[in-house]
Amino acid sequence: MTSSAEITCAVCGQPAEESTSALCGECDRPFHLNPRNDVDGRDCGEVWVDEQFLSLRFACFTCLRPDADARSGRPSGRGEATASESSEPPVGKQH
């Protein structure tokens, strides 16, 4: 009998099932993604059609909304310095 590894959502930190999660195309971490609109479920990211490559793209809210992480003081989890730790403001902000 094989045991599946516990999947933890990179956005909310709650356990996630493999059938209701996806891997972020930016940070390669798992996040909650409900694959059906007719069933209630948690979404901690989005999926959309990339019209250039005709493929599905997946991204977690941490990567899609990095400004929300900076406002909340949460680290993004991508090894980047937050605005308060950096000596320069983020690109496009007060330059």
Strand partners, 59: 46
Indicate if the pLDDT at residue 28 is higher than 60: yes
Question: How confident is the model over 57-63, as a mean pLDDT?
Answer: 96
Bridge partners for 56 per DSSP = 49
CATH of range 7-66; options 2.60.40, 3.30.40, 1.10.110, 3.40.50 = 3.30.40
Phi, psi of 52 (to 5 degrees): -70, -45
Percent of the chain with pLDDT over 90: 58
User: Is the pLDDT assigned to residue 84 strictly greater than 80?
Assistant: no
Q: Cα(52)–Cα(87) distance, rounded to whole angstroms?
A: 37
d(CA 47, CA 61) in angstroms, rounded, equals 11
Q: Provide CB contacts within 8 A for 92, sequence distance 6+.
A: none
Where do the structural domains in the chain lie, given as residue ranges?
7-66
Indicate the residue type of 60: C
